[in-house]
Amino acid sequence: MTSPFTSVIIPTYNRSNSLFHALKSIGDQTLNQNCFEVIVIDDGSTDDTEQICFNNFHFKLRYKFQSNQGDAAARNTGAQLACGDFLVFLDDDIRVDPDYLVELVNSYQKGSHLIVMGKCINQSNPSSSAFQNIMSQTIDERKISNTPNFDQLCSNNMGIGKQDYFAIGGMQSLGLQGSDMWCDVDFAHRAFLKGYRFKLNPKAVCYHLDQNLESRQKYMRRSEEMAFRAVTLFKKYQGLQPYLRMFNDMTPLSICADPINLSFRKLVRRLSSSKAVLFSLQISAGIFERLYPSPIILKTLYRWINGAYIYRGYHKGITASKQVE
């Protein structure tokens, strides 16, 4: 079977250094370089991203600058420019193994109405903080089967036929300022409703150096913002919220409708997310990080702190949504 021509689409914004390493890893692919192209969509960067893209990479690379419109729009621009029948979406902080593209192409050719993804491993630098090391390992411990649910699809590591991408409707923004968080779940949910299947190829390995893991404060702020935006996603798709189980004990308490165990979990979540308890958890985490960075203790503390920020962000989103109505 002839391999489809592949277009690798990378949206980027002010991350020239990580983009360079992403492109460098693509240069080591075992897939014949005549069988793929790379399209970098610069979403309004003010750094030297354009100069990075004019390095002497040994593959076809196209660079497109657009005013800052968000990563969903950037991916759609890349898809419109693509010459390939098979689209692979990566982020600018993803590095890929040499066989990554070959493996995704092989998975894509084994079925129709199929969206494929590789195995993404979170990376931390050797000199990283205890938080970054522990959270990277924690994220990697989350098991994803070879036939994942739609809510496990990530737009930083996915492949899909070009015609299928547009048949599903492309990526769609939630209309909020800043990063288009949840655009991948939004896209995957629409694909799921249209009967598309999802496939993970564990041999297509990539590595994510998540810059939000650089500090505990930065990561928690991102979690709060993500939860805030989730309210808009749930308003757009009635019935979607139960699929994202991380929010199950964060929805408003309903004594009449909630089972006893869920009511108890919601009460505990509310208590642990109060200002006093959250302050105590963060102070405790800081002390253990400095004096006794036990992975077991810190992992538990980080989980509760992160849950508190998600809870607070989600309920801020509910309040803001009611004010708009």
Q: Tens digits of per-residue pLDDT, 309-324?
A: 999 999 999 999 887 6
- The rounded Cα 293 to chain-centroid distance in angstroms is 28
Other Cβ atoms less than 10 A from the Cβ of 310: the count is 22
Q: Is the pLDDT of residue 325 over 70?
A: no
Domain assignments of the chain as residue spans, ordered by start: 6-214, 216-324
Provide DSSP, 157-173.
EEEEEHHHHHHHT----
Dist. CA 252–CA 231, nearest whole Å: 12
- Average the pLDDT over 117-134 and give the result: 84
pLDDT confidence of residue 129 = 85
Q: Tens digits of per-residue pLDDT, 245-298?
A: 899 898 888 888 889 998 999 999 999 999 999 999 999 999 999 999 999 999
**Does residue 86 contact residue 5 with C-beta atoms inside 8 Å?**
yes
Hey, which bits of the chain come out as E strands? 6-12, 36-43, 60-66, 86-90, 94-96, 114-122, 157-161, 197-208
Q: Tens digits of per-residue pLDDT, 87-114?
A: 999 999 999 999 999 999 999 998 889 9
- What fold is seen in the domain 6-214? Spore Coat Polysaccharide Biosynthesis Protein SpsA; Chain A (3.90.550)
State whether residue 310 is helix, strand or coil.
helix
- Average the pLDDT over 27-54 and give the result: 94
CA distances in angstroms from 251 to 92, 182, 267, 283, 325, listed in the order given? 34, 18, 11, 27, 19
Q: Is the pLDDT of residue 128 over 80?
A: no
Dist. CA 273–CA 250, nearest whole Å: 10
pLDDT confidence of residue 324 = 67
The model's pTM:
0.93
Helix, strand, coil percentages (3-state) for the chain, rounded to 5, are 50, 15, 35
CA distances in angstroms from 305 to 112, 214, 268, 273, 310, listed in the order given? 42, 16, 13, 8, 9
Which of 205, 192, 202, 201 lies closest to 164, judged by CA? 192
- Average the pLDDT over 23-47 and give the result: 95
pLDDT confidence of residue 139 = 81
Q: Is the pLDDT of residue 190 over 80?
A: yes
Which of 204, 198, 112 lies closest to 149, judged by CA? 198
Dist. CA 276–CA 254, nearest whole Å: 24
Which of 122, 119, 145, 120 lies closest to 134, judged by CA? 122
pLDDT confidence of residue 198 = 96
